[in-house]
Structure 1
Amino acid sequence: MRSPRSSRPYAAQPGPRAPSLTERRKAATQLDIARAACELFAEQGPDATTAEAIAHRAGVALRTFYRYFRNKQEAVAPLLAGGGDAWRALLAEEDPGTPLAEALERAVVRSLSGRQAVEEGLEVTRGLLRAAADDQALRAVWYCVNQDSEEQLAPVIARLAGEGADPLEVRLLAAAATDAIRISLELWSATDAPVSGPGSPAELAVRCLRDLTGAMPLLR
């Protein structure tokens, strides 16, 4: 179990180190495998999908698959994590002092709409979440990715909130914002609603965000 961190302030985060060529190649291979896994899970379901089939679809050897992932369900994690990485990066672009409610909504909408690559990624997520409905291990990966995203979001929110922000309020807001996106994607994936407009992930996420965070002191 991870140790609680709500009782201490968030330290300033060092700037990210540029990845090496080896690290970039590793990440690209993992993402290729993740895409292949998501496609196969959506096409034929988790039960009919094997690690061998995923490796073949990704164009890698089976030993390469197992170098990066312990099982077939875990293979989808890099693709799912990419969505959280993108939205945190958009939020991090906001200037400190910007009203947090505005910053959060703007980042959520930008991350869930507006570009063809985003729309294609949402359709992949829809297929995967539908496949996860009957696969406990796949759902566990989804929840773990969201938990990791929440923990990485807290320092971003703390920076925007400024010095003196209550660590408890920061954690609560990070949890609420993460759950707003998670719930919106889960609800949307169970429907045939479009990727934009009424019933879209962006619209649902903003609605969830407002309902979950409306009374939070950090947003007043």
Structure 2
Amino acid sequence: MSTEPPQPSLTERRKAATQLEIARAAAALFAERGPDGTTAEDIAQRAGVALRTFYRYFRSKQDAVGPLLSGGAERWRSLLATAEPGDAFAEVLERAVTEAFRMPDGDADEQLGWTLGLLRAAERDPALRAVWYRVNQDSEERLLPVLARLAGEEADPLEVRLAAAAATDSVRVALESWAATTDAPTDGPGSPAELAVRCLHELMGGMRLFRG
């Protein structure tokens, strides 16, 4: 039986594309003017959509960047979804998080660039930080069934739940630590991929799932 998730419909793809266009417009304006100097009207105008369209998808200007902040987590879950139950749990997680940050098509670098700017802006904007935390909470909830499938039916549900929380926090802490550095390298020592693997070992090293 196939484990691939169902493909989104044309309507869903168009909706996602519009949301991403608005998110990119918001992130660009935040970089230029800061969140305080940007309005929802500004974002809608930059994205080329009506203001009512903006509010159809987002409650506030800070909410608008959610699709950009969640892009990396979606890539990671997609990579994990290709693994099979019974594969070495630790190796699967490490490989997926590394590949998610190092996709060769340039999308990963673009994603990291947006994330870097938004995390630095969030240091001065509580509402933007709240969006970041909400994105991570949503990521954890979406990751749980993916890890449950990989862990197998006999895995302890509590440990699977802890694994989803620890894996999500590993990526979150890695990105926050990376964004706080001056040079913020995208590859090698100090990069998000290297930091995330370190965090995975620190937070999950004692789990039976991770040890195998």
TM bucket normalised to smaller = over 0.9
Match of 1:144 among 116, 134, 137: 134
- Residue equivalent to 1:200: 191
Is 1:180 matched with 2:163? no
- Residue equivalent to 2:76: 87
User: Are the aligned partners of 1:126 and 1:189 in contact in 2 as well (CA < 8 Å)?
Assistant: yes
- Residue equivalent to 1:130: 120
Is 1:101 matched with 2:90? yes
CA distance in 2 between counterparts of 1:169 and 1:48 reads 45
Match of 2:59 among 34, 50, 70: 70
CA distance in 2 between counterparts of 1:42 and 1:171 reads 36
CA distance in 1 between counterparts of 2:179 and 2:209 reads 31
Is 1:214 matched with 2:205? yes
Question: Percent identity over the alignment?
Answer: 69
User: Are the aligned partners of 1:51 and 1:62 in contact in 2 as well (CA < 8 Å)?
Assistant: yes
User: Are the aligned partners of 2:71 and 2:111 in contact in 1 as well (CA < 8 Å)?
Assistant: no
- Residue equivalent to 1:171: 161
For residue 15 of structure 1, report the CA deviation from its aligned partner. 6.0
For residue 159 of structure 1, report the CA deviation from its aligned partner. 0.8
Match of 2:37 among 48, 57, 68: 48
For residues 114-129 of structure 1, the aligned pairs below 5 Å read 114-115=103-104, 116-129=106-119
For residue 62 of structure 1, report the CA deviation from its aligned partner. 1.3
State the TM-score, normalizing by the size of structure 2.
0.94
Judged with a 3 Å threshold, the aligned counterparts in structure 2 of structure 1 residues 46 and 173 are, in CA distance, closer, same or farther, namely: same
Stretch moving more, 34-43 or 169-178: 34-43
For residue 20 of structure 1, report the CA deviation from its aligned partner. 2.5
CA distance in 1 between counterparts of 2:154 and 2:84 reads 17
User: Are the aligned partners of 1:42 and 1:130 in contact in 2 as well (CA < 8 Å)?
Assistant: no
User: Are the aligned partners of 2:170 and 2:196 in contact in 1 as well (CA < 8 Å)?
Assistant: yes
CA distance in 1 between counterparts of 2:161 and 2:31 reads 34
- Across the aligned residues of Structure 1 and Structure 2, the Cα RMSD in angstroms comes to 1.5
Q: Which amino acid aligns with 2:39?
A: T
CA distance in 1 between counterparts of 2:189 and 2:173 reads 16
Deviations 1:132-163 (A, max 9, x none): 11111111111011011101111111111111
Match of 1:107, SS state, is helix
CA distance in 1 between counterparts of 2:77 and 2:68 reads 15
Q: Which amino acid aligns with 2:82?
A: E
User: Are the aligned partners of 2:4 and 2:81 in contact in 1 as well (CA < 8 Å)?
Assistant: no
CA distance in 1 between counterparts of 2:56 and 2:140 reads 27
Q: Structure 1 unaligned segments of length 5 or more: list them.
A: 1-13
Q: Report the number of matched residues.
A: 208
